[in-house]
């Protein structure tokens, strides 16, 4: 693992500490399963004494119920019909243009508070929003692991 990958993984794991993410812990070619992630694991990764890989869910595994929950959190119950959650983010479903001079735009406000809510929600549901699975830095969580 190169230093840049290690730093990316450390940043991700530290943000997931409060959410009981499950990990695969490797020391000297011995495979240990640690559940949940603890600060000790992060220390071992940081000091090159272990390889740690979290079990994460791909963004594509988000259920319709979770998508609705996320939209309610970010835009409120009254505005969720104007947005949808896709694998690559949240998009506006409105046509944006109505006939005449009445233009309708619906913006998702990513203020500091909304951004924190979004990232915390993704972490609490164990989603891989950094692409760690594709980079070989995380393991795709088996279905039902976090239920």
Model confidence over 58-73: pLDDT tens digits?
999 999 899 889 888 8
The runs of H, that is alpha helices, within the chain are: 3-16, 39-46, 64-75, 112-124
* pTM metric for this prediction: 0.83
The predicted-structure confidence for 74-108, as pLDDT tens digits, reads as follows 888 877 777 778 776 777 665 544 444 444 455 56
Looking at the structure of the chain, the number of domains it has is 2
Q: Are 120 and 133 in the same domain?
A: no
The more confident residue out of 92 and 139 is: 139
Q: Are 86 and 131 in the same domain?
A: no
28's tokens: 């000297």
CA-wise closest residue to 16 among 135, 112, 141, 136? 141
Is 147 part of any domain?
no
């Amino acid at each position: 693992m190169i230093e840049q990958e290690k730093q990316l993984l450390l940043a991700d794991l530290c943000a997931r500490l409060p959410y009981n993410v499950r990990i695969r812990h490797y020391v000297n070619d011995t495979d240990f399963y640690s559940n949940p992630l603890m600060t000790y694991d992060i220390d071992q990764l940081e000091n090159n004494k272990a390889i740690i890989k979290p079990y994460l869910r791909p963004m594509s595994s988000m259920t319709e119920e979770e998508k609705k929950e996320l939209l309610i959190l970010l835009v409120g119950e009254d505005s969720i019909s104007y947005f949808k959650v896709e694998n690559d983010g949240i998009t506006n479903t409105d046509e944006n243009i109505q006939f005449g001079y009445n233009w309708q735009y619906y913006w998702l406000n990513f203020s500091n508070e909304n951004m924190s809510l979004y990232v915390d929600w993704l972490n609490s549901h164990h989603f891989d929003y950094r692409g760690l699975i594709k980079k070989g830095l995380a393991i795709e969580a088996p279905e039902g692991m976090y239920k």
